[in-house]
Amino acid sequence: MSFSFDNFYETNRRILIWLILIGLLWQLRDFFGLIFITFVLTFIATPLVHFGRNKFKLPHRLSLVLVYVFFLLVLGSFFRYVTPSVIGEATRFIGNFNEVQTKLIELERDIVSKYPGMERPLHGYVRSTLDENSLRTIDKVLSHYRQTLDFPDADQLLDKEHNHSPEDTPEELKKYYDKEAELLINFLLTKQMDKVREELPKFIKHLYQAIGTMSLALLFSFLILFDSVRLSGLMKSLHDSRLKDFYLETTQPVIRFAFVVGRAIQAQAMIACVNTILTLIGLMILGIPSVALLSLIVFVCSFIPVLGVIISTSPMVLVALNTGGLTLAIGVVVMITIIHIIEAYGLNPLIYGKHLKLNPVLVLIILLVAYHSFGLWGMILGVPVAYYFIHEVFGVPLWDKQPLQSTIASLKPPNDTNQSDQIS
């Protein structure tokens, strides 16, 4: 029996179409961030444009222009006020680096004076974070320092340590431990500053890339909504073209998936609001200045899973260090850790579960697995992708279809209702 391409295509049409779509998406993977942000901005702008048109009776395009002028003002204000503030706090921190070292050493001595048994575990932990070269240098300096004390070799040091309780430590042994703490803290901070200097050019590069991506996404989403009627007609015209099979097979699943992602964005917006309120309360309790600016940073960064926590925490820690020293900075870190735990194990499962009608425990499992498997994009798209497969692929009825059906009905091609219904 001779091979027939037509028969092969008809038999495997659905598989071939989805393989082609997946292949196209894979080829566009470098632009995935731009595509996703464009979709998010379009999804956010659409109801705002409708609000201006229906509430204030504005023409569609005038309402659209006003919405995007508002977006540009928000984005410009963020970079105009937030970026200089963060840079200024970082400059102050670098200028006060020696003072930070001194305060950290004083804090270590204060802890040891209250809890003598914590000294050796603390020193051991700091040693575990340093590289071999740094440890060799520290031990060499300490070896020279022991020559000025009553125990020139390590064996005598161990004898004195074992023969005395922490509360009854000889004065020379305390001096030795103070010297060790000073060296460990200085090397640790120097190591961290070297890491910051090493990563700073990469961070600046990513920042410029993010600005460029956001600007292009604003432009593309504006053009899509500005010419939405003609673009919608163009998409519907595919029904009468040679791409009819591709159009009929992929249109409704893509719209359904976009709807699910949109619901996930709404959930993330609610999480961002709650996260910002909790952070604002924590900053006010700790007495951190510039709470409005820092809360704005937290709100914007809340839309960036995982990495957003690091980005938003950095300026808060810098402000705390420059305002109240290391103790206040540690308080900020503890506060952010508590809020992050509440967000990760409470807000995310509950709010995502409510919006997407998934069990909160299932949402938590999906987030953990998606982040472990795919990193940042797994956190962003893990829940909507899993939700889509649970409903569309496995057919589990988890959600109310009514809002979606009205969206799909508007995109159905004319005179082809039966065939579209069969595909859905």
Q: What band does 219 get if pLDDT is binned at 50, 70 and 90?
A: very high
pLDDT at position 217 is 92
Does residue 344 sit in the same domain as residue 367? yes
pLDDT at position 225 is 92
- The reply to whether 252 falls in a domain is yes
As a whole number of angstroms, the distance between CA 323 and CA 326 comes to 9
Does residue 184 sit in the same domain as residue 301? no
Q: Which of 293, 268, 269, 266 is nearest to 279 (CA)?
A: 293
Does residue 64 sit in the same domain as residue 157? yes
Candidate from 189-193, 302-306, 375-379 with smallest mean pLDDT: 302-306
Higher-scoring residue by pLDDT: 309, 221 = 221
Pair 43, 226: CB distance under 8 Å: no
**Tokens, residue 155:** 């064996």
Give CA 288 to chain center in angstroms.
Answer: 23
pLDDT at position 335 is 92
Does residue 407 sit in the same domain as residue 390? yes
pLDDT at position 407 is 44
Higher-scoring residue by pLDDT: 416, 136 = 136
- The reply to whether 327 falls in a domain is yes
Does residue 207 sit in the same domain as residue 241? no
pLDDT at position 28 is 85
Does residue 189 sit in the same domain as residue 148? yes
CA distances from 43 to 40, 166, 167, 262 (A): 5, 63, 65, 7
Does residue 217 sit in the same domain as residue 254? no
Does residue 237 sit in the same domain as residue 150? no
- The reply to whether 370 falls in a domain is yes
Average pLDDT of span 380-406: 66
**Tokens, residue 253:** 């699943």
pLDDT at position 105 is 77
Does residue 207 sit in the same domain as residue 248? no
Q: Is the pLDDT of residue 134 over 80?
A: yes
The b-or-e profile of 16-42 (16+ CB within 10 A means b, else e) is ebeeeeeeeeeeeeeeebbebbbbbbb
What are the DSSP calls for 218-248, one per residue?
HHHHHHHHHTHHHHHHHHHHGGGSTTHHHHH
Q: What band does 224 get if pLDDT is binned at 50, 70 and 90?
A: very high
Which conformational region is residue 351 in: left (phi greater than 0), alpha (psi within -120 to 50 degrees), or beta? alpha
Residue that is last in its domain, among 209, 226, 243: 226
In 3-state terms, what secondary structure has residue 68? helix
pLDDT at position 12 is 83
- The reply to whether 25 falls in a domain is no
pLDDT at position 250 is 86
Q: What band does 204 get if pLDDT is binned at 50, 70 and 90?
A: confident
Average pLDDT of span 410-424: 44
Does residue 198 sit in the same domain as residue 286? no
Q: Is the pLDDT of residue 149 over 80?
A: no
Average pLDDT of span 48-60: 90
Looking at residue 391, what DSSP letter applies?
Answer: I
As a whole number of angstroms, the distance between CA 176 and CA 26 comes to 60
Q: What band does 155 get if pLDDT is binned at 50, 70 and 90?
A: low
pLDDT, tens only, 83-115: 777 677 667 766 776 777 777 777 777 777 777
pLDDT at position 410 is 46
Other residues' Cβ atoms within 10 Å of the Cβ of residue 385: 19
- The reply to whether 297 falls in a domain is yes
Count of structural domains, the chain: 2
As a whole number of angstroms, the distance between CA 276 and CA 114 comes to 36
Residue that is last in its domain, among 169, 193, 226: 226
- The reply to whether 6 falls in a domain is no
pLDDT at position 166 is 54
Higher-scoring residue by pLDDT: 359, 1 = 359
Q: What band does 62 get if pLDDT is binned at 50, 70 and 90?
A: very high
- The reply to whether 4 falls in a domain is no
Q: Chain-wide mean pLDDT for the chain?
A: 78
Find all residues with CB under 8 Å of 313, minimum gap 6, and list them.
Answer: 332, 333, 336
pTM of this structure = 0.66
The b-or-e profile of 262-297 (16+ CB within 10 A means b, else e) is bbbbebbeebbebbbebbbebbeebebebbeebbbb
Does residue 179 sit in the same domain as residue 239? no
Q: Is the pLDDT of residue 69 over 50?
A: yes
Q: Which of 213, 205, 251, 212 is nearest to 40 (CA)?
A: 213
Other residues' Cβ atoms within 10 Å of the Cβ of residue 232: 12
Domain around 53 = 33-226
- The reply to whether 195 falls in a domain is yes
Residue that is last in its domain, among 167, 200, 226: 226
As a whole number of angstroms, the distance between CA 424 and CA 421 comes to 5
pLDDT at position 422 is 42
Does residue 206 sit in the same domain as residue 257? no
